[in-house]
Amino acid sequence: MPFCSTRAPRRSVALARRVALPLVLSLVATGALAAQDPACTSRRPRVEGLRIDGNRSIEDVELTAILFTERAGRLRRWFGWNVGPAACLDSVEVRRDTLRIARWYAMRGYPGTTASVELEAKGARTTNVRFRVREAPPIVIDSVVVDSMPPGVAALRAFERAVRGAPLDDSLLQRQTDSLQLLMRQSGYARAAPARVQHLYVDSTARRAGVRLLFRPGPLVHVGRIDVTIVARDSTAAALEEPEVRDLLKLKPGDPYLARSVGQSQQLLYSYNLYRTVAIDTLPLGRAPDSLLMRVRLVEGPTRSLRGGGGWGTLDCFRTQTRFVEQNFLGHAHRLQLDARLSKIGVGVPLDAFPGLCAPGVRADEFSQKLNYYLGASAQWRGVLGEAWHPQLTLFSERRTEFQSYVRETSLGVLASLERPIIPRVNNTFTYRFDGGRTTSDAAVACATFGLCRFSDRAFLLSPSQMHAAGVTLSRSAPALGTPAVNDERWAVETRLGTLAVGEPSSRVNFNRTQVEYALYRPLNRHVIGAARLSAGAVFTKRALEPLVPPQERFYAGGQNTVRGYGQNQLGPAVYIVNRITSTATVDTFTVGIADPDSGYQRLAPAGGTAMALANLELRTRVGWPANVLQWVLFVDAGRVWNNTGSYSVSGLRVTPGFGVRLVTALGPFRVDVGYNPYARESGPAYLVRQADRTLGIPGRAICVSPGTVEPYNDADIGPTAGAYACPTTFRPPLRRGIFPRLAFHFSIGEAF
């Protein structure tokens, strides 16, 4: 042992010397080379700084790209390391750079612009370079003539508005001409010759110019013969026969050749998920100048797939899902999908072995103590009602919870939909839903929302219920997941009629639920994207029946995708759960309990509302900093959720600003948002929930303890058939002090909208 204990350190020291010595020598050599910097001299100093002043019409980044002179890299400037371009000043090229700037301005419509250069020595072998630009007034296009453009191809008035009044910019004219040329080719003029741009006149004194765009479309080209080749998987019979493929194509022999029809045909064939390759090409030109021969080649891929995945979420704890897909179910490209999902793993019985790995709020939520699950089978029937309609039928069973609010257990659910694409990304969908199950709500929420204030009355909610709902949705879909929306928009209008029968004997509630949403995404400059969303919704029914609108049909707000200054579902009507009373009072000879708002509350139970308004505004960076995978967001969220009955008073929208960071991943952006909430909690009813104790004969109750309550606190003061007591909305916690208690943190994957 003594021998081993002394030998090991000696070997370690020797190894450290062998490694450290070359490293030290390397650093010394690097420092020496950095000090010498042989690439630059006093006559050709290193460019430490590069600046352009006076340019108002053209940005620095565009001008810097055309210059020969460049700035030394950060490693050279900060540490003196000889890595990267030397960036030594060339006295000849720096003078030529002033001419390059002038020529670039002339090409962009500002002839007469001049530039000069100033050098500022910083040391014996370093210098700063500053270009000063003196911009001339632009030559403005005041006359536009478009010749030989076929009618109906493009909106020429919009094109003329975009060009007229702009500088005589050759690059702008070329871009506009190319866009019109592309539209012309996509409209059937596949053999159009290149367009030409002519300057009709240029008045340098008046700074005015006229331009002419000459197009040569040639004849309208039609589709000729179409050859279809199908490569079946494993040399078996093809899933779709050649006549079926021809029926799916959006272009037929004799039709005008439209590029968008080719794209739509390719997209439709890919949507069947049967083919690994869908190639639609034109064959070599034939003798007829007005027709094109085409070839469609399809290579089939696997028709069955099995996927699984898992993860962790703030509200779901551990979760997992599995999906099996058969793309050619019963032939003719019918699609069968089987789904299974589990959540609350870790805290939910029977998989409750790891509760410590779940969020504290989930562990305290009574609705999260059992597993959530979903089992479903969905079938899509292709071509049954023609290719324009897409019918789908889904059968499912599930247990679904809304955090700290309710649990919905559906023994059997049916969802039938009929979707018809109108134009690309715009769909019209008709739906029918049957939901047979039961809803269990928080004791206090059941009392405030459903009028069921005693535990014995909650049997009303535990009774089986049946809901039928039919609706229609018109929507423009969002961009694909993982594709950031840069210059786009989406919208949706959804309305449905429903009827709900609850209890024995049943009480029937007829309602209409309508919601509209619009989102807009626009680039503000090269670095920032603006995103905005507006949404509103309401549930319409008889005023006396509004408290019986089922929880899954009510509106909730607050959280990672709505108003981020609030916790999940905590904006709008809610009730406060307290764990003790602070005083008692005598009302009509019996005792009532009162909870003091200054003493706080145990938790907030969202009740949802029958009306909702929401607005979001974001500024999203397009360029990552300090790394390309990190992007930053500033946002302002505003929202309101309320009940039409007036049971809860919510005065105005709640506006919460905040900021966030996005980490770009293959699954989409991992999002961290921090919202600031300057508001005090809304006033609402307060309840002391007392669990039943069967051994002592004590019934469970949700006791109203709001200031001003008239509900008896003691069971002896309540008759066995006494009705529900109205609970005043007078419990209002004090305004939170400090900055940190007003911050709400949210973690998720994907953009908020």
**Cα distance between residue 319 and residue 564, in whole Å:** 24
Question: Is the distance from CB of 702 to CB of 455 less than 8 angstroms?
Answer: yes
The pLDDT-based confidence of 84 (bands split at 50, 70, 90) is: low
Per residue in 39-53, pLDDT tens?
688 888 888 889 999
Q: Which residues are CB-neighbours of 749 under 8 A, at least 6 positions away?
A: 665, 667, 668, 669, 670, 671
Tokens 């050709």, located at residue? 44
Q: Which helix (H) or strand (E) holds 66?
A: helix 60-66
Segment 59-68 mean pLDDT? 90
Q: What is the pLDDT of residue 11?
A: 42
Segment 486-513 mean pLDDT? 84
Question: Is the distance from CB of 125 to CB of 42 less than 8 angstroms?
Answer: yes
- DSSP structural state of residue 349: B
Q: What is the pLDDT of residue 450?
A: 54
How does the average pLDDT of the chain come out, rounded?
A: 82
CB burial readout 420-451, b (16+ within 10 A) else e? ebeeeeebebbbebebebebbbbbbbbbbbbe
Tokens 């002896």, located at residue? 716
**pLDDT exceeds 70 at position 724:** no
The pLDDT-based confidence of 547 (bands split at 50, 70, 90) is: confident
Specify which of 217-226, 384-393, 516-525 reaches the highest per-range mean pLDDT.
516-525
Per residue in 148-169, pLDDT tens?
888 878 778 878 888 888 899 9
**Cα distance between residue 154 and residue 213, in whole Å:** 14
Kindly give the interhelix angle for 259-271 and 170-186, rounded to the nearest 10 degrees.
Answer: 70
Question: Is the distance from CB of 58 to CB of 108 less than 8 angstroms?
Answer: yes
The pLDDT-based confidence of 2 (bands split at 50, 70, 90) is: very low
Total-model pTM:
0.62
Q: Sort strands 140-147 and 208-216 into parallel, antiparallel or unpaired.
A: parallel
